[in-house]
């Protein structure tokens, strides 16, 4: 029990709170600093239909709330939270409800990318949804060998892409393992998105990639209004603020809700110092 309390306090640095009101407070603070947001209700790998129905309803309620408070926030979600583990058609219809309601208030919906076991099905559902909606975008992961071809296909559809390195544990047959090589691929994919894509989102906390993006967009005279940087809530806050002050468009991914364990675990895994840092700080309090 004590251990759970400790973890909950540690998770607070990456999660904006348990409910939408907690999250909206953080959204306002970010807005005051000139930072935009995409909101994520935590949840994934849901195999139980009533739980999926509840997650869908939670997103519909979130969209209504955002319209009420006149927030321009985007939303992000995972297809395994929307029924991908149950049935593709059920999942697609859940997404139609959510993207359809988002469209009514001119809001953008980003489909997060999960493990390589569901990459193709996630893309297939996204391609289906794109035939009906233009307010949906997707994520691609620079560590996957397949991503170059996926970016070509997505660019051909003129769909919006968030480019990230990738956060799941993948075998070497499907994913690049060395950080240096992932960075090289990230840059190659970013160039493809800047040249032939639509409004790319460069989602990384990596200083080298941020520096490269700033230099590339300046050299190629790409306007700041044609793309954005994206960060995760609670990570490199000063950099987020500084980039916004410098005139770049910055959007923070703000997760909230009670199902934070898998998300939190991925954040810890990305940086082992987190475990030491957070534990040390917890005991200092
Ligand atoms: P990297 O991990 O090399 O970090 C660079 C530096 O940033 C570190 O040295 C440290 O200073 C800081 N940093 C990074 N992670 C930190 C952490 N957890 N705590 C503290 N400091 C940290 N992945 C995915 O598979 N599917 C998805 O849909 C998404 N969506 C997504 C949205 C957004 C907005 C972002 C920023 C990222 C994602 N990701 C994701 C996660 C992504 O794939 C990747 O795992 C993380 O961003 C970490 O990789 P970086 O490129 O940030 O670099």
pLDDT tens figures, 161-212: 999 999 999 999 999 999 999 999 999 999 999 999 999 999 999 999 999 9
Compare 71 and 277 and report the one with higher pLDDT: 71
Domain count along the chain: 1
Tokens of 41: 């209700």
In this prediction, residue 259 carries a pLDDT of: 87
Write the residue with the smallest CA distance to atom 1 of ligand 1.
206
Compute the average pLDDT of residues 102-131: 97
Q: What tokens does 268 get?
A: 């810890």
Rounded Cα distance between 126 and 137, Å, is: 8
Query: Which has the closest alpha carbon to 150: 92, 211, 86, 197?
Result: 197
Structure tokens at 281: 């700080």
Residue nearest to atom 32 of ligand 1 (CA): 203
Ligand 1 atom with least separation from CA of 203: 36
Residues 6 or more apart from 137 whose CB is under 8 A from it?
108, 109, 110, 111, 159, 160, 161, 162, 201
CA-nearest residue for atom 30, ligand 1, is 112
> Residue 154: which CATH number?
3.20.20.220
Residue 58 CA, ligand 1 centroid: distance in Å: 26
Q: Would you state the torsion angle of the CA atoms of residues 242, 76, 153, 95, taken in this order, to the nearest 10 degrees?
A: -160
Distance of alpha carbon 112 from alpha carbon 195, whole angstroms: 23
Best substitution site from 164, 183, 228, 265 to test ligand 1's pocket, by max atoms within 8 Å of Cβ? 164
More confident residue, 283 or 203: 203
The pLDDT of residue 274 is: 67
Tens of pLDDT along 234-268?
999 999 999 999 999 999 999 999 888 888 888 88
Annotated active-site residue 107? The verdict is: no
* Token output for 137: 């975008």
- Is residue 107 in contact with ligand 1, taking CB distance under 6 Å? no
Beta bridge partners of 202: 163, 229
pLDDT digits (tens, 9 = 90+) for 17-51: 889 999 999 999 999 999 999 999 999 999 999 99
Q: What is the C-alpha separation between 76 and 111, in angstroms, rounded?
A: 6
Q: How far apart are CA 126 and CA 61, in angstroms?
A: 22
Residue 164 Cα to ligand 1 midpoint, Å, equals 7
DSSP SS3 for 145: coil
Does residue 113 line the site of ligand 1, with CB under 6 A?
yes
Average pLDDT, the chain: 93
Angstrom distances, CA of residue 191 to CA of 188, 198, 212, 246, 252: 5, 12, 11, 22, 22
How many A from CA of 205 to the centre of ligand 1?
Answer: 6
CA of 167 relative to ligand 1 center, distance in Å: 7
Substitution site in 111, 144, 203 for ligand 1 pocket (most atoms within 8 Å of beta carbon): 203
Q: Is 271 a catalytic residue?
A: no
Q: What is the pLDDT of residue 7?
A: 73
Mean pLDDT score, 58-75: 95
Q: Provide, rounded to the nearest whole percent, the portion of the chain with pLDDT above 90.
A: 84
How many percent of the chain have pLDDT more than 70? 93
CA 26 to ligand 1 centroid distance, Å: 20
Sign of torsion over alpha carbons 117, 123, 129, 131:
negative
Residue 206 CB–ligand 1 contact under 6 Å: yes
**From the CB of 271, is ligand 1 less than 6 Å away?**
yes
Domain residue limits at 159? 2-282
pLDDT surpassing 50 at residue 93: yes
Q: What is the pLDDT of residue 285?
A: 46
Q: Which atom of ligand 1 is nearest to the CA of 143?
A: 43
Query: Does 152 sit in the ligand 1 pocket, CB within 6 Å?
Result: no
Higher pLDDT, 285 or 218: 218
The minimum-distance atom of ligand 1 relative to the CA of 251 is 34
185 lines ligand 1 (CB under 6 A): no
DSSP state of 19: S
């Amino acid at each position: 029990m004590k251990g759970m309390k400790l973890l909950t306090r540690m998770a607070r640095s990456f999660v904006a709170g348990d409910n939408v009101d907690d999250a909206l407070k953080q959204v306002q603070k970010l807005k005051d600093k000139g930072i935009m947001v995409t909101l994520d209700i935590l949840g994934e790998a849901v195999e139980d239909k009533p739980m999926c129905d509840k997650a869908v309803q939670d997103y519909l309620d979130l969209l209504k709330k955002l319209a009420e408070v006149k927030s321009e926030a985007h939303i992000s979600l995972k297809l395994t939270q929307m029924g991908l583990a149950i049935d593709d058609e059920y999942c697609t219809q859940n997404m139609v409800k959510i993207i359809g309601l988002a469209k009514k208030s001119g809001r953008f919906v980003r489909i997060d990318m999960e493990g390589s076991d569901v990459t193709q099905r996630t893309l297939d559902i996204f391609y289906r949804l794109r035939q009906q909606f233009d307010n949906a975008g997707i994520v691609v992961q620079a560590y996957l060998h397949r991503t170059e071809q996926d970016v070509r296909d997505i660019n051909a559809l003129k769909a919006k892409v968030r480019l990230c390195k990738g956060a799941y544990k993948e075998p070497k047959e499907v994913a690049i393992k060395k950080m240096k090589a992932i960075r090289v691929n990230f840059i190659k994919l970013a160039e493809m998105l800047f040249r032939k894509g639509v409004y790319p989102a460069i989602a990384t906390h990596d200083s080298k990639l941020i520096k490269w993006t700033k230099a590339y967009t300046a050299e190629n005279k790409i306007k700041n209004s044609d793309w954005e940087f994206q960060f995760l809530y609670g990570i490199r806050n000063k950099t987020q603020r500084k980039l916004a002050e410098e005139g770049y468009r910055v959007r923070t991914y703000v997760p909230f809700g009670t199902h934070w364990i898998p998300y939190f675990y991925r954040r810890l895994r990305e940086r082992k110092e987190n475990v030491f840092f957070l534990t040390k700080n917890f005991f200092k309090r």
